[in-house]
Amino acid sequence: MSLTLQPLTQHIGAEASGIDISQPLSPESTHAIERAMDRFGVLVFRNQPLDQDQQIRFAQSFGPLDLGLRKVKGGPHRFKYAELADISNVTADGNVAARTHAKIVGNVANQLWHSDSSFQHPRAKYSMLSAVVVPRQGGETEFADLRAACDALPPSQRERIQGLVAVHDALHSRAMLGDTDYTEAQRQAIPPARWPLVQTDPRSGRKILFVGVHAREVLGMTVAEGRMLLMDLLEHATQREFVYQHHWQVGDLVMWDNTATLHRGRHFDFAERRELRRATTEEVVTSPEALALAEA
């Protein structure tokens, strides 16, 4: 069967069917999914529960895998693969975490608008999140289209930010939430990354407003002015007209493009078990020309 797509909003997201992603993908299916990602930014595969091996195999179809904050935090891990991120409120021993546990800080941090691994080179490209256990209510994930947001910038604002570069820091958002218990070695594990505020996607050719909570400052501006600019741009990018909200069902896999979208989790009762697994690919820039285009 071939990939079938049903748009979910005017700007972002499509429900994808017609391909069994638990099985190895053919080159044709891989290319079809990549083309759909270039168009919609977010794909929702319903009723496709994956085990860990299947999820890793699916993710590897789209590039090398990213470790993200596992490079910083390390420690006990519940999964067979280090490349699978544990997006849950469950500790390494399988119990629901107490509200004072570090896992809960991670759940709260996920409620901030962000792009996975924007704080590193290479940054994340595709994230693939599989739902294993979902709460009775809450815990939705929202996605904002950075392409539509860039298109909607007033011309004066676009001119003002053209050429400006933001610094993205892995622990900036954690510090905002009081999570500061890191060694110097952990702080140095992922040096801050610099990304232009306005970029061009080398695959789709669309302009992107690349903001998010990991951005801590703007080069050439005072910290205060830069952070106010970043907050204004983030507020613009996350207007409801640019957002798709996903209501999770067990067996869902949602795939999104971290260079074209932002996402955030929504509140749920932390006393109720919620388990999702995420695999993430690194962005691959194949030529100097593509790199120049992405940073233009």
Q: What is the pLDDT along the chain (296 residues), one digit of tens a residue?
A: 799 999 999 999 999 999 999 999 999 999 999 999 999 999 999 999 999 999 999 999 999 999 865 555 556 778 999 999 999 999 988 999 999 888 888 888 899 999 999 999 899 999 999 999 999 999 999 999 999 999 999 999 999 999 999 999 988 777 777 666 666 676 667 789 999 999 999 889 999 999 999 999 999 999 999 999 999 999 999 999 999 999 999 999 999 999 999 999 999 999 999 999 999 999 987 644 445 544 55
pTM for this structure?
0.92
Single-letter residue type at 28: E
What's residue 185's pLDDT? Answer: 73
281: domain CATH number? 3.60.130.10
Omega of the bond prior to 191 within 30 degrees of 0, cis? no
pLDDT digits (tens, 9 = 90+) for 119-138: 998 999 999 999 999 999 99
Residue corresponding to tokens 């748009």? 7
Domain count, the chain: 1
- Domain hosting residue 244, numbered range: 4-294
The token pair at 27 is 């080159």
How far, CA to CA in Å, does 131 sit from each of 17, 20, 87, 172?
Answer: 17, 16, 9, 28
pLDDT digits (tens, 9 = 90+) for 231-245: 999 999 999 999 999
What's residue 181's pLDDT? Answer: 67
What's residue 286's pLDDT? Answer: 60
For the CA atoms of the chain, what is the radius of gyration? 18
Long-range contacts of 74-82 (CB under 8 A, 24+ apart): 79/52, 79/277, 80/52, 80/53, 81/52, 81/56
What's residue 289's pLDDT? Answer: 44
